[in-house]
Amino acid sequence: MLLTEGTNVPPAREAPRPVLTEYEFENDLPLTFSHTRGLVLTAFSAQNIGRLVTVFNAARRAGREFVIDLYAATIAEATGRAGIPKPGFDGLRVFVPHQQRVRVKRAGAFDRVDRIKRYRIFPEELRDRRGELVFLFRASTTDDLERADCLEDARLVWSQWRGYLDQDRDGVRDCRRS
């Protein structure tokens, strides 16, 4: 039996697309980040630790801070690996979106927020520093970002299956709308 991750396996009716190596992707990203006036949103799974490292490194090379959410911070810490970017790394901040604050409150898991409070970033800072940040984006954070008024001149770097762009999951609006 062979188990594989199939993100880059296109349906037979599609022509194969070129796939960048993680090294090539990391080398291309700083240019994109540098040429973006506003916030750079990066859409990838927080469970993809290799991509987390790649985007963090590229953000640092572009002179930007990388902002992850509480879920990604928890996953990064859980690896137990010293080289994985996590709260406490220079150039890494943590945003706690409304949906995650509600979950923390319901679960009484306030220690999760306490552990990252020194590295936390709030909506006002997202707005004021939008041209200096790279943000790990999920469609569920769209409302938080709109309320923070930080999307002017933003750019989205999509690093997931294309089909997610067309899905309306959990009432979250289509990511392509703006």
Q: How far apart are the first and last CA of the chain?
A: 43
Q: Give the CA count within 13 Å in the CB-facing half-sphere of 44.
A: 20
**How much is the pLDDT for 25?**
77
What are the chain's domains? 22-161 (3.40.50)
**How much is the pLDDT for 174?**
45
Collapsing DSSP to helix, strand or coil, 69 comes out as: strand
**How much is the pLDDT for 14?**
64
**How much is the pLDDT for 92?**
98
Residue pLDDT tens, the chain, 178 long: 555 555 555 566 666 655 677 777 788 899 999 999 999 999 898 999 999 999 999 999 999 999 999 999 999 999 999 999 999 999 999 999 999 999 999 999 999 999 999 999 999 999 999 999 999 998 899 999 999 999 999 999 877 555 555 555 544 444 444 3
